[in-house]
Amino acid sequence: MSSLNLDDFTDLIERPDGGVRRDAETRRQRQIVPAGALGRLDELGEWLAAARGTVPVRPVERPRVVLFAGDHGIAELGVSARPAGGAEQLVRAVLEGASPVSVLARRLEVPVRVVDMGLDCEPDALPKDVTRHRVRRGSGRIDVEDALTLEEAEAALLAGAAVADEEADSGTDLVVLGDVSVGGTTPAAVLIAALCGTDASVVTGRGGVAIDDLAWMRKCATIRDALRRARPVLGDQLQLLAAVGGADLAAMTGFLLQCAVRKLPVILDGVVAAACALVAQRVAFRAPDWWLAGHDSGEPGQAKALDRMALEPLLEQGVKVGEGVGALLALPLVRAAAALAAELPEKPGHETEPEGEGEAAQ
Known catalytic residues are 323
Torsion of CA 153, 154, 155, 160, to 10 degrees: 90
- In whole angstroms, give the CA distance from residue 338 to residue 41: 8
Q: Residue by residue, what is the 3-state secondary structure of the chain?
A: CCCCCCHHHHHHCCCCCHHHHHHHHHHHHHECCCCCCCCHHHHHHHHHHHHHCCCCCCCCCCEEEEEEEEEEHHHHHCCCCCCCCCHHHHHHHHHCCCCHHHHHHHHHCCCEEEEEEECCCCHHHCCHHHHCCCCCCCECCCCCCCCCCHHHHHHHHHHHHHHHHHHHHHCCCEEEEEEEEECCHHHHHHHHHHHHCCCHHHHCCCCCCCCCHHHHHHHHHHHHHHHHHHHHHCCCHHHHHHHHCCHHHHHHHHHHHHHHHCCCCEEECCHHHHHHHHHHHHHCCCHHHHEEECECCCCHHHHHHHHHHCCCCCECCCCCCCCCHHHHHHHHHHHHHHHHHHHCCECCCCCCCCCCCCCCCC
